[in-house]
Amino acid sequence: MKHLPALLACLFAALCLTASASAGEVRVAVAANFAAPAQRIAAAFEGATGHRAALAFGATGKFYAQISHGAPFEVLLAADAATPARLAAEGLAVADSRLTYAVGRLALWSAGADVVDDQGKILGRGHFRRLAIANPKTAPYGAAAIETLSRLKLLETVRPKLTQGENIAQTWQFVSTGNAELGFVALSQITQDGKLTGGSVWIVPDDLHAPLRQDAILLAKGKNNAAAAAFMDYLKTPSARAIMGAFGYVQP
């Protein structure tokens, strides 16, 4: 009996070593609009599975170019559905792993209170110097902003006032620092726990642009990585979906 504590300690150490050995890491490319929820999901994922998710943030179009040139990402959380489908068609991703993890919302936002009205009429009035959008060639939220302005027949009117961010994160930064009075951002960037974090906002109606369906896919470099497969599965859990909902995302 006197050796029991030592035996238990050895067993505990062995269990810890086994858990450590079985834990892995997955490298995830994350669309910039999804940065905040992705960080929370990664922390919850590690707590639930022991696996670590190493996150990189950027524009979906740029991630496509990087993955095409051999970047070591194993999972892509895109801001659209087209990019994961294209990667699958080109053999750079596992086709049957593709899933829609969230549907995003576009918002016209100003860091100042009472600047943006709840119907977006400020766009027609033109009482602003700069309107920030993400690069529509690489960022789906930028493309949705251009589509919205076109549907409102305001694109040519406001074009001289447009300033482009490299991605939606930089676009938010332009507005948050006052370099642009207002801009089209992802609702998730200005929402936390279901509430606006500050400023004034018009949530763009869904019928003014194509749905911002956001797909995830297991990339070819991650097909043999248990942590990558576990992360894809974790995106479907109630815990992950609750985090997404708190940031204003809609479930498909």
Residues 25-103+212-246, CATH architecture: 3-Layer(aba) Sandwich (3.40)
Residues 104-208, CATH architecture: 3-Layer(aba) Sandwich (3.40)
Write down the pTM of the prediction. 0.81
Residue ranges of the chain with per-residue pLDDT less than 50: 1, 4-21
pLDDT in the model for residue 22: 64
Going from N- to C-terminal start, the domains of the chain cover 25-103+212-246, 104-208
Of 84, 27, 33, the closest CA to residue 56 belongs to 27
pLDDT in the model for residue 14: 40
Tens of pLDDT along 65-82? 999 999 999 999 999 999
pLDDT in the model for residue 20: 43
pLDDT in the model for residue 183: 98
Check if 25-103+212-246 and 104-208 are the same fold.
yes
